[in-house]
Structures are given as C-alpha cells and as structure tokens.
Amino acid sequence: MQLSTQPIVSVQWLRERLGAPDILPADCRFRLGDPAAGAAAYAGGHIPGAAYFSCDADLAGPKAEHGGRHPLPAPEVCAQRFGAAGIGPGVTVVAYDDDGSFASRLWWMLRHLGHDDVCVLDGGLPAWRAAGAPLTSQPPARPARTFTPRPRPEMVVDIAAVKSRPADVVLLDARAGERYRGEVEPLDRVPGRIPGAVHAWWEEGLGPDRRWLPPAAQRERFARIVGDRPAIAACGSGVSACANLLALALAGRWDVPLYVGSYSDWVSYPDNPVDRG
C-alpha cells in the first residue's frame, strides 16, 4: 500500500501491525464544547501505543485577533510536539478519533509539514471497539524522534487569496447546512458564510456506518459539487475542512489547498460581507 495515495487504513490493517516500532497510532478525540473531554476519553481507554493530540493544545496555535479559531502552530512547535510523541522518518502515523474530522486535521498537518507516512483509521475508535480490538489505559513508552518540518506552502491559502480567487475557483464550505445558511452560529461572531461559498458538508463523505465512502462514491460526490474546477477547502476554523480534503484525496484530488482560518478568520474583519440563506 502506498500511503501517499491511500489516506485510510482498516482496523484489520492496524491490528496486524500493532506494536511495531514504525507504527504509531494517534488518538485525536476532541469535543469543541468541552476541550478536556478528549484527553479524559484517552485516559479512560485508547489503542495500545497511541499518543494523544488535542485539537486546541497540539493541532492549533495561539489565537490572535485574526487567523481563526484554530490557526496552525509554528513549524518548530510542531516539530517539538510530533518528535516528542515519536513521529519521525520511517514512522507511519495512524490517526483516529470518534468521527474522522479531528483525525483528518492531524493527517493534513503532517502532510503539510512533509510527513507523508500518515493515514486515518477507517471508522475510528468505534470500528476498533466493534471489532473487539484491544484497548489500554496505559500511556505509551516510545522513544522521542527527530521530526524535521518541510512545509508545503501550496497546501494553504490566506484570506487575501480567498478574496482574490478567480471566478472558476470553488470555495467548499464543510460546515453543516444550518451553519452554512446562517440559521445558527454557535461558535463565531456572526452567522452566515463567505460570499460565493458552495456547501459541501464533510459528513457526506461518510457512509451510514461512519466509514469513509469508497473512492468511486467520493468521485461522484465531488463531481456534483465541484467537477474538475480548482477549489479551496474551508469550514469554521480549518478542522472539518480537512475531512473534505481527505475525501478529495480518496477521489484522487490532492491539489486542493486549505483556508486555515476559514469562516472564523473571515468574520474577524467586521467589514467583510457574509451571505445567508
């Protein structure tokens, strides 16, 4: 299997390799309304050998006036965090959570920093439990490694690029429909969406069993939404958009960048217009 072209792996794939020194499970469970819940769930039981990564503490940097709710940490900060967890050359990271969105954030971040040996566990921890696979409450004992970040600037865009995007570039909004339409907004300053954004709810990339739809279904999904036009992925703060980027990779599209700040960055500028409805 070529991880550079296969962003997900099955429970069976991980079970067969669990405990190998070059396989690192990464627990990314998190709850936006309760930031401590993920770490508590990890302490209560996780895949053996898994390191824990908090969306707020590990997969995002300090908030500022602009830049969104989950800006990227500095590359040198990521290097310290990832290296301390045991991520380095030759180590394959298998990210998981309860639904796929936070694991996708780690998947995207590692690729953005040049570490391609990363994938997401299909079905996440629920699928692992359903298969009767082992859990532990013991923290991992893994040696630290040297993580050398090699950022890929083509994988990100900023607000200026979103404002000046050509007419054929599709801005994909991964949020749920009621937030996209501006009917509710539990997290950001004002409800609505970036003008011109197209709705692409990230959960539509999952089947009823909460596993990722196969490549053919992902291609069909994105053919309806974006076709073969260039695109930019966005959401509320650059997290669930990564799930769309994983689904796009399954569909064979690796060329879509992320607007990291997304809607939370957009509305941090009071003069920026929003669409509703």
- What distance in Å separates the CA atoms of residue 123 and residue 29, rounded to the nearest whole number? 13
Per-residue tokens: 176: 């749920």
- What distance in Å separates the CA atoms of residue 199 and residue 231, rounded to the nearest whole number? 12
Q: 242 catalytic, yes or no?
A: no
Cα dist from 138 to 45, 47, 128, 164, 233, whole Å: 8, 10, 17, 50, 37
Q: Do 163 and 175 touch, CB atoms closer than 8 A?
A: no
Among 28, 119, 235, 242, which one carries the catalytic annotation? 235
Q: Do 110 and 51 touch, CB atoms closer than 8 A?
A: no
Tell me, rounded to whole angstroms, the distance of Cα 272 from its chain centroid. Answer: 26
Mind telling me the catalytic residues?
235
